[in-house]
Structure 1
Amino acid sequence: MPAELPALSVLDLVPVRSDQTSADALAAARELARTADRAGYRRYWVAEHHNMPAVAATNPPVLIGMLAAATERIRLGSGGVMLPNHAPLVVAEQFALLEAAFPGRIDLGIGRAPGSDPVTSWALRHGAGGVDDDAVSRFPEYVEQVEAMMSPAGVAVAVRGGEHPLRATPSASSTPTIWLLGSSDYSARLAAARGLPYVFAHHFSGEGTAQALALYRDGFRASSTLGEPRTLLTVNVAVAPTAEEAERRALPQLLQMLGLRTGAPMVAQRTVEDAETIVAAGLPESHASLLEAMRRRWVIGDPESARAQLAELAATHGVDEVMVHPVAGALRGEDPQRAVGREQTLSLLAA
């Protein structure tokens, strides 16, 4: 008996194509979120990446506010906020405010990676007197601080011999759901220890998935907010009416990831036709084999085969939910304020 398709959600890095401005990319993200909302997806998360020509998702709280206002019922969240880049109070204030504005619809996914190059990371963390040098090593402490400050009771801070209350918002009636994100065992262990739901970034790594999820489940300790392990898996997906079209649509993002893995200069995401021209001219053998290895970890195909692949992936890893990262690129001449291939991916999967 074939495996059942689990609950589906969406991860959006807000890609910027060679035919788009930042404003176009944001307009396309808004339409994609509306597509996911209408199609019944459970949640829609945006990532945090900086100083990248092909990614407009630099500020999750700002994007979440925009997308929440443009949708009706879908949960909005971060996939994730890279906590070492920010003061914990700032993150707690931002998401407590979002939860107050859109109660019951906000998720705070937290990650530990920089989400950028070393120079940009320095500018984020220290350029204006920001967080301290050991922000990464203090990640567990910062997660605890964010969680406490968003609660209605807040947290007591000891300063000069006295205790001072610190709350992210004056009178919280609900709090965002906190998720820990990771592509290694570090966040799996921390999420288990703190009794938080866990997301494995299968879309980025594709390796070590089973081991990280097993570590999380085996070490899980129930918390006041979560009684048993809760898991989510992200995966790169391109769906089209035919498998051939899906393969074409996936090519621009495959080349984007190939460039990232091989240290090539980052550029805006190419159109399908431009990507095909590059591949037709010939890739170095090592690059071609790397591209094919990445492609095998992605879900690319017609609706029926894509649904079957996602169901099998979810069953294999025993996850409660799959978060689709729609990677279908654009054909030359398509509306720059829409992401036709990405919208099609979500619509066909949910049909």
Structure 2
Amino acid sequence: MTLSVLDLVPVRTDQTTGDAIRASLSLARTADAAGYERYWVAEHHNMPAVAATNPPVLIAMIAGATGRIRVGSGGVMLPNHAPLVVAEQFALLEAAHPGRIDLGIGRAPGTDPVTRYVLRSGATDEDVVNRFGDYVQNVAALMAREGAGLDLRGETFELRATPHAVSVPTLWLLGSSDYSARLAAELGLPYVFAHHFSGSGTAEALALYRDSFRPSADLDAPRTFLTVNAAVAETAEEAERLALPQLQAMIALRTGGALRPQRLVEEAEADPVPAVHQGLQAAMRERWVVGDPKQAAEQLRELAAAYGVGEVMVHPVAGALTGTAADASPAREATLRLLGEAI
């Protein structure tokens, strides 16, 4: 099984943004040394617990701090950006780190309605989301070695994301509904369903993608993998403790609770979720990979077999204990090391 990493660059109650970034750079180096295939960073805005606001900037830092692993976005929320800007950013990253850059694209806003309005300069969802398919194709054309042609007033103007591209990033479509599955199949692109976030509809979306796939010049067969939340420790009991802060954060997100920096483990233990949400917490926990290395490896193998994938992208959600260095995330690093050794 191939293992990869998804990182939201979490910000704990004991961290600054700079601390969180330094912790993620250390996590990326751990993944690189442990043989992981790729390391993707998300795009979220105006969230107290997430520092992954700008994937291209983070990708540049992570690719520069590592030597082998592929680095990419999981993903860039394309309706928030002009296609030419995204194409320029990732063409430049690919030029600096040839053969190591992935461009994962999604269409969700990755934020609250007010921040979405600011990001999109007041444009409505209808203005941008309905043109998502065209925007994806525009990005691909602009990054291509030959560039794209724009017909204007009877003349064709050449547009290129970078002056002399030798290679191009791998383009992936991401989603948590059947829309992106259909579009990826239609365009012959790799596709990833957000199993780590949604937890339902994965099998249906993957079946739709595989059954509807049309080969393209770049991809002759469906290509996908699974994303999953994971906390792994030497003992199952310790892994359960370490998963608690992220579980509580997800409960708050799903139930309209207050969003805040990620708690330390002891803070989470001292303030459990209300009884009315205990069932939701248990149901959410069932979809995560939590346990000792042997248990976690077996869970990953079962998930990979169930969904017919050869690659699993792990979102390491293990929290930190009181006294942890602010610029470190040792439990997240341990999750990656222990899984890598067990698989």
TM-score under structure 1 length normalisation: 0.96
Residue number in structure 2 paired with 1:110: 105
The one-letter amino acid of 2:206's match is: L
Give deviations 1:78-110, integer Å, cap 9, x for gaps: 000000000000000000000000000000000
Give deviations 1:159-178, integer Å, cap 9, x for gaps: 22211111000110000000
Residue number in structure 2 paired with 1:202: 195
Provide the C-alpha distance between the structure 1 equivalents of 2:311 and 2:45, rounded to a whole number of angstroms: 27
Provide the C-alpha distance between the structure 2 equivalents of 1:248 and 1:7, rounded to a whole number of angstroms: 27
Residue number in structure 2 paired with 1:36: 31
The one-letter amino acid of 2:294's match is: E
State how 1:63-212 maps to structure 2 within 5 Å.
Answer: 63-126=58-121, 134-212=127-205
Q: Secondary structure at the match of 1:136?
A: helix
Query: Which residues of structure 2 form unaligned runs of 5+?
Result: none
Matching of residue 338 in structure 1 with residue 331 in structure 2: no
The one-letter amino acid of 1:315's match is: A
Provide the C-alpha distance between the structure 1 equivalents of 2:282 and 2:271, rounded to a whole number of angstroms: 15
Matching of residue 285 in structure 1 with residue 272 in structure 2: no
The one-letter amino acid of 1:350's match is: G
The one-letter amino acid of 2:120's match is: R
Give deviations 1:2-28, integer Å, cap 9, x for gaps: xxxx20000000000000000000000
Q: Secondary structure at the match of 2:130?
A: coil
Provide the C-alpha distance between the structure 2 equivalents of 1:36 and 1:267, rounded to a whole number of angstroms: 27
Provide the C-alpha distance between the structure 2 equivalents of 1:165 and 1:338, rounded to a whole number of angstroms: 47
Provide the C-alpha distance between the structure 1 equivalents of 2:92 and 2:57, rounded to a whole number of angstroms: 11
Provide the C-alpha distance between the structure 2 equivalents of 1:320 and 1:123, rounded to a whole number of angstroms: 40
How many residues align structurally? 341
Provide the C-alpha distance between the structure 2 equivalents of 1:180 and 1:136, rounded to a whole number of angstroms: 14
Q: Per the alignment, do residues 116 and 7 of structure 1 end up closer, same or farther by CA in structure 2, a change over 3 Å counting?
A: same
Residue number in structure 1 paired with 2:230: 237
Provide the C-alpha distance between the structure 1 equivalents of 2:79 and 2:49, rounded to a whole number of angstroms: 23
Matching of residue 260 in structure 1 with residue 253 in structure 2: yes
Residue number in structure 2 paired with 1:247: 240
TM-score under structure 2 length normalisation: 0.98
Matching of residue 216 in structure 1 with residue 198 in structure 2: no
Provide the C-alpha distance between the structure 2 equivalents of 1:9 and 1:198, rounded to a whole number of angstroms: 15
Q: Is the 8 A contact 1:237 1:345 kept in 2?
A: yes
Residue number in structure 2 paired with 1:56: 51
1:204, distance to aligned residue in structure 2 (A):
0.2
Provide the C-alpha distance between the structure 1 equivalents of 2:317 and 2:56, rounded to a whole number of angstroms: 23
Report the identity percentage.
68
Query: Which residues of structure 1 form unaligned runs of 5+?
Result: 1-5
Residue number in structure 1 paired with 2:297: 307
Matching of residue 296 in structure 1 with residue 291 in structure 2: no
Provide the C-alpha distance between the structure 1 equivalents of 2:225 and 2:183, rounded to a whole number of angstroms: 16
**RMSD of the alignment, in Å?**
1.1
1:319, distance to aligned residue in structure 2 (A):
1.4
1:233, distance to aligned residue in structure 2 (A):
1.0
The one-letter amino acid of 2:313's match is: M
